[in-house]
A and B are shown apart, each in its own frame.
Chain A
Amino acid sequence: MQLHIMRPYKWRGWRQPARDTAQAVPGHRALSFECASLALGKQADKLVLFFDGCRRKRNVIDYTGVQIATATEAAELLERAAQFHALVESWIKNTHPNLT
């Protein structure tokens, strides 16, 4: 998922600070979502907001332990991830056909 989120903005020539990897850069997940929306445009807004919500939920669960993730939410996350994958593939075909 992280990889798909990052592909469009990397191919637009944008890079994350520190080093060209998502590993070990503080806030890299939040940044990835912000950039995905910028790179893919309005068509990705709803999905990106949804994934950002999942990211925040993961933080709440990991750091406070007062929330749970439900099977209903997990099922939707998988469905939306597949949608996002298809969106990124289509974006690559349209904007960078040489990479397909």
Chain B
Amino acid sequence: MDALVRVGILKKRVDGRRSYIKANEESPIFTELRGLVEKTSGIVPMLRASVKRVKGLKIAFIYGSLARSEEAAESDVDVMVLGNVSTMELSPKLRAVEVAVGRQINPTVFSLDEFAKKVSAKNHFLRTVLRNKKIMLVGTEDELESIARRAEDSHAQVEQAGTR
């Protein structure tokens, strides 16, 4: 522990007989270490494992402060789920992760049809989410973009047909 403090990976504050130790966010390798921890034992792999077998789920990703690496320790975790998914089936899996990590997980569930409609209607919330950073749990960013692009294309075709 002292060695990690000496090389600047951890910060130590002594208050009387107590020592408080935390990660040094100013360390040049803080981002890489944080990524390593998140990928191996953090909330991301736990969430990934918990949602990957949910029936009907096509895409799932984390958005918001955690995805942007701007979260505080107690920040909620925002998860978007696309597919023919039962929130009731999803809830116990997410609750188990919440208990393990001590953070509230807020899922937002869209059927593919509703997602496509909202994207094509240029829904402000979804446009903001899609524009910002995401951590994919199930599916890839390419797959998500392809669903969004198809929705916008079909909306454009409908609009064109309407103006003819």
Closest chain B CB from A56 CB (angstroms): 7
* A57 contacts the other chain (CB 8 A): yes
Given A49-B95, A67-B78, A80-B88, A72-B114 contact (CB < 8 Å): yes
CB-based nearest A residue for B126:
A68
* B108 contacts the other chain (CB 8 A): yes
* B154 contacts the other chain (CB 8 A): no
Is there contact, CB below 8 Å, between A76 and B88? yes
* Complex interface bits, A66-98 against B, C-beta within 8 A gives 1, otherwise 0: 111011110010001000000000000000000
* A60 contacts the other chain (CB 8 A): yes
CB-based nearest B residue for A47:
B88
**Given A53-B107, A76-B86, 11 further pairs, Cβ under 8 A:** A46-B91, A47-B88, A50-B91, A53-B87, A53-B91, A66-B64, A68-B108, A70-B114, A72-B110, A73-B108, A76-B87
Total number of A residues with any Cβ neighbor in B under 8 Å: 17
B76: A residues at CB distance < 8 A: 60
Total number of B residues with any Cβ neighbor in A under 8 Å: 19
Q: Whole-angstrom distance between the alpha carbons of A80 and B89 in the complex?
A: 12
Given A50-B87, A71-B114, A72-B114, A60-B106 contact (CB < 8 Å): yes
Closest chain B CB from A69 CB (angstroms): 8
Q: Whole-angstrom distance between the alpha carbons of A85 and B96 in the complex?
A: 26
Q: State the 8 A-B residue pairs at the shortest beta-carbon distance, nearest first.
A: A50-B88, A72-B111, A53-B91, A49-B91, A72-B114, A68-B125, A50-B91, A70-B110
B99-134 interface (Cβ within 8 A of A): 104, 106-111, 114, 125
B87: A residues at CB distance < 8 A: 50, 53, 73, 76
Is there contact, CB below 8 Å, between B95 and A67? no
B92: A residues at CB distance < 8 A: 46, 49
A50: B residues at CB distance < 8 A: 87-88, 91
Q: Whole-angstrom distance between the alpha carbons of A72 and B90 in the complex?
A: 14
B95: A residues at CB distance < 8 A: 49, 53
Closest chain A CB from B66 CB (angstroms): 13
